[in-house]
């Protein structure tokens, strides 16, 4: 269901439903309409009971905005979106959309029974507790959420791996949704934050111009920094098709039934290096292994059966 703008400016229920994407708590609806009217609309099918204490002013499937409101309202008072969920709502792309992360103060506990009985069209909700949630870390939004800097710091701490944590921080800074100084200020306010030292190192690298870590993760088989010598072959495509733009290709990939042959690449003009040869002796070396000097390099590549 999509909430529509109410023409009646004196209708508080319409304005509240519009502000919360059609998701209300039972207490809100009862205060505005009364318990009898609310029960009648739910029993007649006009409204839908999503979970205990949360109603939908419609009977359709939940949209993305409604799922966010259900996660916040079902968790309880003072709950806000956090982590990757809040960062995605702030505009950071490439983050996980599920599950939904909600942050609550450490002085209260969320209703675990309610969150375990969500409908099938509602994604999973993960509730986190914190003892440090100042007003400066809260973003005025609908639904309420943490600031982008706090969301990225929390997402890095809740990430499954270290690489994912670094990727979250780099995405927020590279997409210009947050600055490294803002992330540092949040980390300084959280002395017990998970992966605190990792966040500091990652932010220092990003601020120093080394935020892109893709070059550091290239496989060793890819000569990323050293250009190939003149006349050297180009490794064959993973499916067996050689690069048609290459000057010379020694052999293609034969797949599981191919054999391996060792040969020398073509030497530059005027060089006394031997011509390419082929050996029928099987080799266990990988296809990207190289040996020799830049003037005369040998490649080991798999070739198909004759």
Tens digits of per-residue pLDDT, 96-149? 998 999 999 888 776 666 677 889 999 999 999 999 999 999 999 999 999 999
Range in 7-16, 176-185, 283-292 with the lowest mean pLDDT: 283-292
Q: Find the mean pLDDT for residues 67-83.
A: 93
Q: Per-residue pLDDT for 81 more than 60?
A: yes
Structure-model confidence comparison of residues 86 and 225, the more confident one: 86
Look at residue 226 in the predicted model and tell me its pLDDT. Answer: 52
Look at residue 118 in the predicted model and tell me its pLDDT. Answer: 87
How far from 113 is each of 43, 52, 68, 228, CA to CA, in Å?
A: 23, 9, 18, 62
Look at residue 10 in the predicted model and tell me its pLDDT. Answer: 59
Instruction: Say how far apart CA 153 and CA 190 lie, in whole Å.
Output: 9
Look at residue 122 in the predicted model and tell me its pLDDT. Answer: 93
Instruction: Say how far apart CA 93 and CA 29 lie, in whole Å.
Output: 35
Q: Find the mean pLDDT for residues 267-287.
A: 50
Q: Per-residue pLDDT for 215 more than 90?
A: no
Look at residue 232 in the predicted model and tell me its pLDDT. Answer: 54
Q: Per-residue pLDDT for 216 more than 70?
A: no
Position 263 confidence tier, pLDDT thresholds 50, 70, 90 = very low
Q: At how many degrees (to 10) do helices 148-158 and 196-207 cross? A: 120
Residue 53's nearest CA partner among 81, 72, 78, 32 is: 72
Position 275 confidence tier, pLDDT thresholds 50, 70, 90 = low
Position 76 confidence tier, pLDDT thresholds 50, 70, 90 = confident
Look at residue 68 in the predicted model and tell me its pLDDT. Answer: 96
Range in 24-38, 96-110, 122-136, 264-278 with the lowest mean pLDDT: 264-278
Q: What is the DSSP string of 63-93?
A: -HHHHHHHHHHHH-TT-EE-HHHHHHHTT--
Residue 186's nearest CA partner among 123, 235, 132 is: 132
Q: Per-residue pLDDT for 294 more than 60?
A: no
Beta bridge partners of 203: none
């Amino acid at each position: 269901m999509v909430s529509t703008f109410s023409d009646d400016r004196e209708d508080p229920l319409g304005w509240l439903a519009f502000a919360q994407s059609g998701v209300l708590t039972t207490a809100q609806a009862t205060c505005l309409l009364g318990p009898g009217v609310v029960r009648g609309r739910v029993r007649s099918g006009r409204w839908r009971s999503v979970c205990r204490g949360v109603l939908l002013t419609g009977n359709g499937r939940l949209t993305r905005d409604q799922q966010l409101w259900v996660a916040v309202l079902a968790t309880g008072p003072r709950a806000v979106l956090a982590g990757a969920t809040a960062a995605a709502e702030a505009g950071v792309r490439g983050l996980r959309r599920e599950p939904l992360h909600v942050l609550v103060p450490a002085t209260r506990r969320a209703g675990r029974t309610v969150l375990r009985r969500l409908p099938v069209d509602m994604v999973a909700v993960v509730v986190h507790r914190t003892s440090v949630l100042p007003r400066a870390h809260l973003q005025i939004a609908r639904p309420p959420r943490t600031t982008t800097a706090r969301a990225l710091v929390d997402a890095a701490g809740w990430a499954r791996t270290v690489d994912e944590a670094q990727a979250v921080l780099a995405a927020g800074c590279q997409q210009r949704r947050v600055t490294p100084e803002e992330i540092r200020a949040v980390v300084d306010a959280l002395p017990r934050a998970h992966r605190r030292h990792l966040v500091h190192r990652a932010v220092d690298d990003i601020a120093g111009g080394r935020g892109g870590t893709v070059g550091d993760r290239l496989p060793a088989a890819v000569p990323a920094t050293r250009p190939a010598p003149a006349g050297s072959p180009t490794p064959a495509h993973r499916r067996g098709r050689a690069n048609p733009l290459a000057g010379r290709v020694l052999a293609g990939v034969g797949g599981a039934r191919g054999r391996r042959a060792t040969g020398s690449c073509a030497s530059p003009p005027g060089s006394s290096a031997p011509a390419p040869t082929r050996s029928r002796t099987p080799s266990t070396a990988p296809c990207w292994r190289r040996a020799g000097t830049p003037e005369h390099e040998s490649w080991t590549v798999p070739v198909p059966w004759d």
